Each structure stands twice: as structure tokens, then as C-alpha cells.
A and B are shown apart, each in its own frame.
Chain A
Amino acid sequence: QSALTQPASVSGSPGQSITISCTGSSSDIGGYNYVSWYQQHPGKAPKVMIYDVSKRPSEVSTRFSGSKSGNTASLTISGLQTEDEAYYYCSSYTGDTNWVFGGGTKLTVL
């Protein structure tokens, strides 16, 4: 199973909105509504920000939202804050109880 494709980096200024894409295939993203997004700060474990494409854990800010169209999922962060600077990884169920992650995107808040 190949990793999902994400841009290596994105950047934005405080207060702006950014979107990170995650492209897979009909065997993963396109075939299931089980896409999740994780935030990882350096030296820390990942933290789930979005699950089931667009659902947000109660402890996650409403500035984070997710969507999907075809084989591509997206994570949007609105009202960028300096603490949002981190790596972001998408993940998808691939069937046969397997999961795959994206290559990761480094978000820089300028």
C-alpha cells in the first residue's frame, strides 16, 4: 500500500486560512469515509484533529475542519495561530482492516 500524497509544506500568516490536501485512490480515500488528520509537534506523539472525514473531537478547536471530494481529502485551518505550526498527517482506511498514512505536510505560520 502506497502512502497518501500530501504537499511537503504550506505556509500562512496569523489569522489567515490554509488548506492541506491529501490524495489517494478509490481503494482508500475514495472508497471509505474513514479519513483522519493528525497534528504532530516536534518530539511529540501525533494528536487526532479530524476523524471520519469531517468530525472533530470535542477538545479540538472549531478552526479545524475536514472534507473530501473523490479521492482527495482536505484539512482547512482558519484563523491561523502560531501554535498551529506543526506537521500534519492524513490517514485513511484501505479495506481489509488496514490503514495508510500520508507523507506529511509541514505547516509554517509566518
Chain B
Amino acid sequence: QVQLQESGPRLVKPSETLSLTCSVSGDSISSYYWSWIRQPPGKTLEWIGYFSNSGSTNYNPSLQGRVTISADTSKNQFSLTLKTVTTADTAVYYCAKYYNAFDIWGPGTTVTVSS
């Protein structure tokens, strides 16, 4: 059974960099697509980007230039880096596996951007 778990700092200061890691168990990240998705308080879901089994990445155009998704296949983990954060980046951040749909999700981690 595939399981995902997000980890990383819960509090980030404005203008600094947000970094999160998703640890995957039960399957290899060398298969499928692996995404980050976020949900600001009281708002809808926003797809951030993905890392694919072929090593390619793609990002939401609204975040292009600030976001990077990378993977460490030896640890079966993939990571999110979001630069120059503002309070608008405060959200629950989810990692998810994509196979025909975002079919497996982590429980999510709340990241607050505040000084």
C-alpha cells in the first residue's frame, strides 16, 4: 500500500525559502508522476507542479520562477522548494501520486508564512 508523508518547517519568514520533503513508501518514485498541491485556509486546491518517472518536471505557470521540485531516488523522496515566500503562500501543502488521477495523497502539512 502506497503511503506519502510530508515533512518540513511549519513556519517560514516572508522573503525566505519554503522547503518540504515527501517520503514515499510502498512504491518507487521511479514510477508514475509525483505532485505537490496546496490549499490556502478556506480556499480551493492549487496544483503546484510535478516530478515524473522520466525525471522531467513541470510547474504551475503562476508559480514559475519561484518553484522547484526535485527527487532523491535513493531515499525514495521528492522535495518542494518555493522561493521568496509571502503571506499568500500560507497553506496546507500536500504531496500526491498521479496515476490517472491524484490517487494517493499525504495527510498534508500546514506551512505559515509570518515574521
Residue interface bits B12-29, CB-to-A below 8 A is 1, else 0: 000000000000000000
* Pairwise interchain contact A38-B102, C-beta atoms closer than 8 A: yes
Interface size class of A (residues with CB under 8 A): 20 to 34
B47 touches A45 (CB 8 A): no
Smallest Cβ distance from B23 to chain A, in angstroms? 15
Contact B45 A51 (CB under 8 A): no
Complex CA distance for A46 and B92, rounded to whole angstroms: 12
Q: Which of A3, A46, A51, A97 contacts B105 (CB 8 A)?
A: A46
Within 8 A of A (CB), among B16-52: 35, 44-47, 50
CB closest residue in chain B, given A37:
B101
The total of Cβ contacts below 8 Å across the A-B interface reads 54
Contacts of B44 in A (CB 8 A): 3, 89, 101-104
Q: For the complex, what is the distance from the CA of A54 to the CA of B46, rounded to whole Å?
A: 22
Q: A1-B62, A91-B47, A99-B35 are in contact. List 5 more A-B contacts (CB 8 A).
A: A45-B107, A45-B108, A46-B45, A52-B100, A101-B45
Write 8 A-B pairs (CB below 8 A) sorted by A numbering.
A1-B62, A38-B102, A45-B105, A46-B45, A46-B94, A89-B45, A97-B58, A101-B47
